[in-house]
Amino acid sequence: MMILKKHWFLVGLLILIPLGILLGRNDPPEWLPGLVRSVPTSICTGAILFLMSVTLDSGRLFQSLRKPLPVLLACGVNQLCIPLLCLPLLFLQASPDLRVGLLISASVPCTMAAASVWTRRAGGNDAVSLLVTLLTNGLCFVVTPLWMSVGTEWFGTSDASRGLGFVPMMQRLVLTALLPALAGQLLRLAPKPKDVVDRNKPKFSMMAQSIILFLVFVSCFKGGMDFAKNNLGEGLRHTEFLTVWVCCIGLHVAAMGIVWVLSGVLKLKESDRRATVIAGSQKTLPIGMLVSQATGLPFSLLPMLMYHASQLFIDTWVADRLAARGTPETSAPETSAADNGEEQPGDADSR
């Protein structure tokens, strides 16, 4: 039961993904498809990002603004290196859905609260991870559509939808991602709402993750219907899923390695190195879902789910190994996430 409580989100993914696909492809009740299509996915995604942003304490960002090199390194790897590494891997994907989905997973921004939770678990400087989070998410309405446009023009993803166009995607991300995130941070400026949120961070996190699980089910249900309607069983083989999953894991691990090596060359403090390794390699699920929904390719969501699920396990192991090296002498005295009323990594936001 303790394992289930700690990793309930992962268990939910393992249940809802196959359940949604199976229900969608095996003659669902007549009322169910209409109900699923009526779900306001953009509003749900905006709600997720608002809930994630309002729990994100940005008060210590000025600590990392004075010495921005770690932040710039993490942002550069997250938003430039990972997409560049992804481009040649697109040629390995036989399915248009998986090809587009892999590019989505590489081009979306860093996670929200999860990056800070794992950074603290690793004994790193969570002020760096907070700033990387805000910068990459704040610029996602420009960076993500730009990379998707590159893929559309040069790497065989032009069979997505015109929703991948730069202007439509930028507008969609501004309304559904940037504005809710800003609203959450503005709400924290009021003392009373901030105190309420800080006292109930685990509940807000659970609400956000529950909405994510709901949208995952909706997307998989739609994918299952398309699976049956277009006889996609012959087009998507197990080897294709395995290939894209290996690519997702490879991108994540490669990004961690690049950040660790470069941060050593730049002689960053140990606490900053740990923060850049985590924040520079993580990718956010809600915005990946948002972009996937705009493509019109139902299984383009799968690489994002694969990347997200993989990073949860990989980063937990990496954070524990870094913490075992000892607390950096440059860090402030460490307290556990539980002591500060924050969610544990297993219950961290799914961004």
Q: Is the pLDDT of residue 179 over 50?
A: yes
Chain center to CA of 196? 26
Name the percent of the chain lying above pLDDT 70.
83
* pTM, 2 dp: 0.75
CB 84 within 8 A of CB 234: no
Token output for 40? 């306001």
AA identity, residue 183:
A
Please give the Cα distance from 117 to 6 (Å, whole number).
14
Q: Is the pLDDT of residue 107 over 50?
A: yes
Which of 6-20, 99-113, 197-211, 330-344 is the least confident region? 330-344
Average pLDDT, the chain: 81
CB 281 within 8 A of CB 132: no
AA identity, residue 164:
L
Q: Is the pLDDT of residue 59 over 80?
A: no
CATH node for 39-327: 1.20.1530.20
Q: Is the pLDDT of residue 294 over 60?
A: yes
Amino acid 233: pLDDT: 52
Please give the Cα distance from 55 to 50 (Å, whole number).
9
